Chains A and B, each alone.
Chain A
């Protein structure tokens, strides 16, 4: 069974500071990994995804994530936080095995950006 652990349910950073949101996964087969963002009262929007090509994945809004198999991690980073980045971020995993198409989500990390 696959699972996702997001360390820190709430992260606060100053505007302009580095954003680092942590995600560790567990999967019995090579995983596909996703980061989604949820703004208040909205659905989830895909930031980026890892599908076994490059280990460093660039996404929208200046975010990127690095897949590290040895650490079973897929942490999300952004060099300089902007006020508009305040939202909840979800890491998700999907097995590459046949018949396993659903996403398994972490509990989410709420990002606050302090002006």
Chain B
């Protein structure tokens, strides 16, 4: 158990819908990262927050947005869902920002868009 929690574990929804994925980082970790894992694209970085502020953006679609709240939990919002958004979404956290820091991964949320 990494100490990072993600809810829900599974999510099934229809095209055009909007969903919210939730992540609670390890106690004391200030940085949160979101990754998408799909069969064709592999593991891709989406976005990073540090202590409530956006720090880095990767291959995140404009239909996707995220935020980190004062209690440090984070939410990833996916809207106007398409079939291709079906994937495993991981949240990771680290103590500080900085590329040498180990990132601890949650168990993921499996999103299925029908």
The interface size of chain A toward B, counting residues with CB under 8 Å, comes to 25
A 35-49 binary contact with B (CB < 8 Å = 1; else 0): 010000011111001
B45 at interface, CB cutoff 8 A: yes
Q: Is the CB of B107 within 8 A of A102?
A: no
| Complex: A105 Cα to B37 Cα, angstroms | 10
A64 at interface, CB cutoff 8 A: no
Closest chain B CB from A23 CB (angstroms): 14
Q: Is the CB of A43 within 8 A of B4?
A: yes
Q: Which residue on A lies nearest to B42, using beta carbons?
A: A107
Q: Is the CB of B100 within 8 A of A102?
A: no
Q: Is the CB of A104 within 8 A of B45?
A: yes
B 34-47 binary contact with A (CB < 8 Å = 1; else 0): 01000000111100
A80 at interface, CB cutoff 8 A: no
Chain B residues whose CB sits within 8 angstroms of the CB of A102 once the complex forms? 33, 45, 48, 56, 58, 99
Q: Is the CB of A96 within 8 A of B105?
A: no
Known: A49-B102, A107-B42. A101 touches B48 (CB 8 A): yes
A61 at interface, CB cutoff 8 A: no
B 86-114 binary contact with A (CB < 8 Å = 1; else 0): 00001010000111111111111000000
Chain A residues whose CB sits within 8 angstroms of the CB of B48 once the complex forms? 101-102
A51 at interface, CB cutoff 8 A: yes
Q: Which residues of A contact B (CB under 8 A)?
A: 32, 34, 36, 42-46, 49, 51, 90, 94-97, 99-108
